[in-house]
Amino acid sequence: MQPDPGGFAYASPDIEHLMARYQQADPVASAALIKLLSPQLYRFFAGPMGSKTDAEDMLQDAWLRIHRVRHTYRQGEPVLPWVYAIARCVRVDDYRKRHRIASRETCVDVLPEPSVSKDERACLPRFEELVAALPESQREVVTMLKVDGLSIEEVARAMSSTVGAVKQKAHRAYERLRKLLDQIAQPARKGAAQ
Amino acid sequence: MTCRDMDGIMSSHSGNSLLPPEAAEHIVGCERCRSLVRLLHETSEIPAPSESHLKRIQKGILENLRPVRPLPPSRIFLFSFALIFLSVVAVGAMRLGMNGWSVLSMEQKIAVFATLAASAVLLALSMVRQMVPGSKHGVSPTTLPIAILLVLILVIAAVFRSEEESAFVTNGLMCIRNGLEYSIPTALLFWMLLRRGAMLFPKLIGAAAGGFSGLIGLSVLEINCSNLNVYHILVWHWGVILITSLAGVVLGAVVEYVDRYRDQKNSF
């Protein structure tokens, strides 16, 4: 999982300039900013295991909020934590909405488990599958650090948290991932020994 | 190097640069870290939004594009909060009298008012930072109001002693009414200032604003009320902050609900 080299994580000064022009209602800068930031934000909303439609809805919602609070961006400050703080708020709201809807829904029947081929079982799980097993706050930290390429400082700002707390969450997430990887590797090792 | 040290390196390490030599050495010998590094660096298909969707967002934004004036610097908001705090406490002290101040010992004055001042500064900073998304926080905005409530309980319990009191409830109700009389109008003033910011999590901002206005009520009561019974102060004076903080959370929840409804109507 690597940040996109062509993405905005490597072009912060330009983004700050675009953001300032967006505040001054420059249509070219606004369009460029949307084009530049959207793929990264979409990745943040889509992963892990998120659906494409949900991610597109959240992306739209995020831009609506960014547009509404664009006056709160201060020139000279980093844009990424500002944008991700808003994106995180959208994700939290979406999570709550989903939770509310799920609590009202009644399951009428037990759905059959999808059949999995032997080859698929043998494959190691993908990053998204393992990260989906983490608690929400740890998943958020790992996604921002490893998928979106933010620094610890930027993640702390985006989450309205401290650097120490983010490091602690990352450490817990890595420990959990190690355990999950261990659990997956053990049967494979036993099989190989037999 | 331990696995914990590896965690720090993995967090600060961007995917496209080489690991430091000691980290590389560690993963050679540690299978758990090796498979974790492999997992975190695994490249998968990167999803992207559709062009038509991006165009729709661009169209929606360009249609409503107007120049905006950036938010004034934080120091202006901090100054406004400080001015409101001091003015309201001064008015309260003048109107209700300073009987409490005259009966407090020097140690009690220092302990109580230093804690109140420090709490007010921390809450004001937290509110100003919450107005701007992505600001640096020294203490998490979720933890701060709770920590302040707890510290105040500890300070009050340590500084004051239990005393005989004949009309505990009658005296107390008068105090809580006096405290809320100053807290509620100032909370509304703070709310109007805070609405100029982003308000991403209105319940958190509400708790901070409620706590801050509660500190005003508590300060007025500490200056005015000559009752030094620890239980009176804990229940009726501290109770002002508890009530205003909870009211702030409730008001925040209402704002959140209204914003959500407005978002549903205003989508592009």
Number of CB atoms found within 10 A of residue A53's CB: 8
Q: Please tell me the pTM assigned to this model.
A: 0.81
The pLDDT score that the predictor gives to residue A106 is: 59
Is residue A102's pLDDT more than 80?
no
Whether residue B215 is contained in a domain is answered as yes
Q: Provide CB contacts within 8 A for B256, sequence distance 6+.
A: B201, B202, B203
A window 107-146, beta carbon within 8 A of B: 126-128, 130, 142, 145-146
At A131 the pLDDT is 82
Q: Is residue B48 part of a domain?
A: no
pLDDT at residue A119 is higher than 80: no
Task: Give residue-wise pLDDT tens across range B195-220.
Answer: 899 888 999 999 999 999 999 999 99
Contact in structure between A155 and B14 (CB atoms under 8 Å): no
Report the distance separating Cα A40 and Cα A44, nearest Å. 6
**Is there a single domain that holds both residue B132 and residue B26?**
no
B12 pLDDT more than 70? yes
pLDDT at A121: 42
Query: Which residue in B has a C-alpha nearest to residue A66's C-alpha?
Result: B198
- B36 and B95 belong to one structural domain: no
3-state secondary structure B126-154: HHHHHHCCCCCCCCCCCHHHHHHHHHHHH
If you average pLDDT over residues A143-169, what whole number do you get? Answer: 88
> From CA B131, how far away is CA A88, in angstroms rounded?
15
Do the Cβ atoms of A149 and B36 come within 8 Å? no
Question: Picking from A175-184, B78-87, B114-123, which range would have the lowest pLDDT averaged per residue?
Answer: A175-184
Residue of B nearest to A144 (CA): B11
| B220, part of any domain | yes
* Residue B57 belongs to a domain: no
For residues B245-268, average pLDDT: 83
Mean pLDDT of B145-171: 93
Residue A104 has pLDDT above 50, yes or no: yes
- What pLDDT, on a 0 to 100 scale, did the predictor assign at position A189? 64
- Note whether B34 and B144 are same-domain residues: no
Contacts A38 to B, Cβ<8 Å: 49, 54, 57
The string of pLDDT tens digits covering residues B159-196 is 999 988 888 999 999 999 999 999 999 998 998 899 89
Give percent above pLDDT 90 in chain B.
Answer: 64
Least confident of A161-170, B73-82, B153-162, B221-230: A161-170
pLDDT class for A10, splitting at 50, 70, 90?
very low
Q: What is the pLDDT of residue B205?
A: 93
Q: How does the average pLDDT of chain B come out, rounded? A: 89
pLDDT above 50: residue A51: yes
pLDDT at position A171 over 50:
yes
Which is higher by pLDDT, A146 or B103?
B103
The band of B117, judged by pLDDT with boundaries at 50, 70 and 90, is: very high
- Is there a domain that residue B63 lies in? no
pLDDT at B266 over 80: no
DSSP states along chain B:
--HHHHHHHHHH--TTSPPPHHHHHHHHH-HHHHHHHHHHT---PPP---HHHHHHHHHHHHHT----PPPPPHHHHHHHHHHHHHHHHHHHHHHH-SHHHHHS-HHHHHHHHHHHHHHHHHHHHHHHHHHSTT---SS-TTHHHHHHHHHHHHHHHHH-B----S-HHHHHHHHHHHHHHHHHHHHHHHHHHHTTS--SSHHHHHHHHHHHHHHHHHHHHHHH----BHHHIIIIIHHHHHHHHHHHHHHHHHHHHHHHHHHHHH--
User: Of A27-31, A47-51, A80-84, B238-242, which gets the smallest average pLDDT?
Assistant: A47-51
Shortest distance, CA B60 to any CA of chain A (angstroms): 9
Choose from B5, B6, B9, B14 for mutation: most chain A CBs within 10 A: B14
B253: in domain: yes
Q: Are residues B27 and B106 in the same domain?
A: no
Question: Is residue B54 included in any domain, yes or no?
Answer: no
The total number of structural domains in chain B stands at 2
* Closest chain A residue to B204, measured at CA: A160
pLDDT band at B231 (very low <50, low <70, confident <90, very high): very high
Looking at residue B40, its pLDDT comes to: 78
Mean pLDDT of A69-85: 92
As a whole number of angstroms, the distance between CA A126 and CA A145 comes to: 17
User: What range defines the domain where residue B29 resides?
Assistant: 3-40
The CATH code that applies to domain A8-103+124-193 is 1.20.140.160
Q: What pLDDT does A48 receive?
A: 61
Tell me the nearest-neighbour CA distance from B189 into chain A, angstroms: 20
Task: Give the model's confidence band at A120: pLDDT under 50 very low, under 70 low, under 90 confident, else very high.
Answer: very low
Closest Cβ opposite residue A170 in set B7, B62, B141? B7
Q: Are residues B103 and B227 in the same domain?
A: yes
- Segment B142-162 shows an average pLDDT of 95
Task: Encode pLDDT of A53-74 as tens digits.
Answer: 888 889 999 999 999 999 999 9
Across the interface, whether the CB atoms of B134 and A158 are under 8 A apart is answered yes
Q: For residues B152 and B90, give the distance between their C-alpha atoms in angstroms, rounded to a whole number.
A: 21
Dihedral over Cα of A12, A17, A22, A28: its sign: negative
pLDDT of residue B226: 92
pLDDT > 60? residue A12? no
Q: For the residues A107-127, what does the mean pLDDT come to? A: 51
Query: With bands split at pLDDT 50, 70 and 90, how would you rate the model's confidence at A9?
Result: very low
Q: What is the mean pLDDT of residues B51-75?
A: 91
Query: Residue B225: which pLDDT band, with cuts at 50, 70 and 90?
Result: very high
pLDDT at A95: 80
Would you state the pLDDT for residue A150?
86
Residue B68 forms part of a structural domain: no
Residue A1 pLDDT > 50: no
The number of C-beta contacts closer than 8 angstroms across A and B is: 193
Q: Do B144 and B230 fall within a single domain?
A: yes
Query: Are A74 and B48 in contact (CB < 8 Å)?
Result: no
Comparing B33 with A101, the larger pLDDT belongs to B33
